[in-house]
Amino acid sequence: MNTAARRRHVRRLLMKHEIRSQRDLVKLLKSEGYDLTQATASRDLQALGAVKVRSGSGMLYAMPDKNVILGPSLEGVAKALDGFVSTIVPSGNLVVLHTSEGAAHVVAAAIDAAPIDIIVGTIAGDNTLLVVVEDTSSGKILAKQLEQIGAQS
């Protein structure tokens, strides 16, 4: 299984289980057929933007609020937006991005890899990218987030 698929699985596990340590995450993933090291689990948690939060029974890993923008884990998106995107236009639960010729797939890959949980998926053409947002979220929220991320690079 590739890195992106494993990280999506880690994200789901963090939302369903109380995972207190990287070792606990590795054990849980191994029980589900993933063979990885603690170092890989650490990189996955960092890439997903997972945070340690206090619960009633101690500290555990969790995904941050869906609408919180995280800095370092979004650097790839920031660079792609700054380098290739000319416009970001929301429409309902969709966001349309216009890019320079041939760059839509680069921006789509960066967005797909980012820990922005309200995104359902992306569809890229040559110079236009469509981002689909969860029904419960607004395309305007994502468009605003992408504008803020692009301004950070």
pTM of the model: 0.50
Residue 69's pLDDT is: 42
Q: Which residue has the higher pLDDT, 36 or 142?
A: 36
Across all residues in the chain, what is the average pLDDT?
83
Residue 122's pLDDT is: 95
72-150 fold: Gyrase A; domain 2 (3.30.1360)
Distance CA 71, CA 126 (A): 28
Residue 41's pLDDT is: 93
Residue 131's pLDDT is: 95
Q: Which residue has the higher pLDDT, 139 or 153?
A: 139
Distance CA 73, CA 7 (A): 13
Query: DSSP labels for the chain?
Result: --HHHHHHHHHHHHHHS-B-SHHHHHHHHHHTT----HHHHHHHHHHHT-EEEEETTEEEEEPPPTT---SGGGHHHHHHHHHHEEEEEEETTEEEEEESTT-HHHHHHHHHHS--TTEEEEEE-SSEEEEEE-TTS-HHHHHHHHHHHHTT-
Q: Which residue has the higher pLDDT, 57 or 26?
A: 26
75-84 helix and 139-150 helix, angle to the nearest 10 degrees: 90
Sequence spans of domains, the chain: 3-62, 72-150
Band (58; pLDDT cuts 50, 70, 90): confident
Residue 9 has pLDDT above 70, yes or no: yes
Q: Which residue has the higher pLDDT, 136 or 132?
A: 132
80-135 tens-digit pLDDT:
888 888 899 999 999 999 998 888 998 898 898 887 878 889 999 999 999 999 87
Mean pLDDT for the stretch of residues 15-39: 91
- Residue range 3-62 in CATH 1.10.3720.10: no
